[in-house]
Amino acid sequence: MAMAATVSSSGITSSAFSRSVISSEPKVSQIGSLKLLDRVSLTTPMSLKKRSSVKPLNAEPKRNDSMVPLAATMVAQVAEEVVEAEDFAELAKKLENASPLEIMDKALEMFGNDIAIAFSGAEDVALIEYAHLTGRPYRVFSLDTGRLNPETYRFFDAVEKHYGIRIEYMFPDSVEVQGLVRSKGLFSFYEDGHQECCRVRKVRPLRRALKGLRGWITGQRKDQSPGTRSEIPVVQVDPVFEGLDGGAGSLVKWNPVANVEGSDVWSFLRTMDVPVNTLHAAGYVSIGCEPCTRAVLPGQHEREGRWWWEDAKAKECGLHKGNIKENANVNGESKKPVVEDIFKSENVVALSRQGIENLVKLENRKEPWIVVLYAPWCPFCQAMEAPYDELADKLAGSGIKVAKFRADGEQKEFAKQELQLGSFPTILVFPKNSSRPIKYPSEKRDVDSLTSFLNLVR
């Protein structure tokens, strides 16, 4: 038994959220006996050549250290065909203004069974819906770190039932996890950063998964992280991971929603009435592991809920390392100044390193101080510039000093060790007649909230 119908990419011309084109497409039903496509082969780092043929019915797929083949796949029988070599940089230009549906259709058309959707348990369900709407076969995999929220696991189950698929789960190596936990404890990432834990629980399982593929599809968007994702192309040769053939250029990465804003993704999900993670309703926008994810406040950027104890722009776990801008280091800080300084009110005192050291040493201050530790490139510092300047103007002549200290670059280690710097911005209040500064604990940085805190502790 074989399924013969496919959807031609030339027939998909709708905009990203046009219901009139997609509403007539029937859901692809799950079948038990499938015929498999031969694998796609990349003949050069920037080219693609594919020949398709039909394997014996019910052939047992080989298992290796990569993803289990066909766990979430429905493959149609196709005639032998040849796809000409493709320059993916040029293809990215051609598809720059294409809809996510068109981009998804092209990815599935070119790679068949050798490409899979990376599903994180958040709004990546949009990718599955787009794949479903193409009518083409597709695969879905996810990284189960062992530390996801219960709501995320229930979401996985709902998605599988809704689409009639099986998600291909990848797990971390138990020996590596055991070694990490035994040597450093369950929550070492709060003390020395999340990179090591993510490397064991996410990056290495992803590397194993991708070695069984020639392409993968992600839900990255340019608006997700200003420091690392603002230049994502819709298709690229993966600059970090290797695919089935090994070596540079052996894996192609597709980002169908790269140019779509988060609000539009959610409009699409609501229109299509697909399952969503219940954590979203509780204020979680970007969802990862339970210990490292929390809800965000209104007006906060979605990535602020991830690894919130670290720098505002260091919001990557390593899965998309290749998208970090060339002019940025691993912490997301620009090597060269790219923005003007902030907090420019004449009533904001700019403290030097010597100035803030002297302030820390004073045990009997004659007046209280409020100081923001900031980095001008940080979008969250930029967002509080107006209210902080307003606070300084409001308190002018009141006996309370309002100041700023630039704590990135060479001053960062000092600020971490001596000034309780966790992430940017960090706000400290130095009370009158007190030797120890008090760290402002809230993320509400409006004038009223800051004033209330000052009144409580000054």
Q: Which two tokens stand for residue 246?
A: 């090994």
Helix pair 125-134, 150-163: axis angle to 10 deg: 10
Is residue 60 a contact partner of residue 33, using CB atoms and an 8 Å limit? no
Measured distance CA(407)–CA(414) in Å, rounded: 8
> Does 425 sit behind a cis peptide bond, omega within 30 degrees of 0 on the bond before it?
yes
Residue spans of beta strands (DSSP E) within 40-132: 50-51, 82-83, 115-118
């990349």: which residue's tokens?
42
Assess whether 378 carries a catalytic annotation.
Answer: yes
What letter represents residue 45's amino acid?
Answer: P
Measured distance CA(56)–CA(50) in Å, rounded: 19
Distance set, CA 450 to CA 94, 305, 309, 358, 431 (Å) = 49, 21, 20, 24, 14
Q: Which two tokens stand for residue 87?
A: 């320059």
Measured distance CA(246)–CA(212) in Å, rounded: 10
* Closest listed residue to residue 148, CA positions, set 24, 2, 323, 288: 288
Residues in the chain: 458
Assess whether 381 carries a catalytic annotation.
Answer: yes
Measured distance CA(370)–CA(229) in Å, rounded: 33
Of 289, 292, 317, 381, which residue is the catalytic one?
381
Of 198, 292, 317, 378, which residue is the catalytic one?
378
Burial class (CB in 10 A: 0-12, 13-18, 19+), 241: buried
Q: Which two tokens stand for residue 217?
A: 């599809």
* Closest listed residue to residue 88, CA positions, set 250, 246, 257, 237: 237
Q: Which residues are catalytic?
A: 378, 381
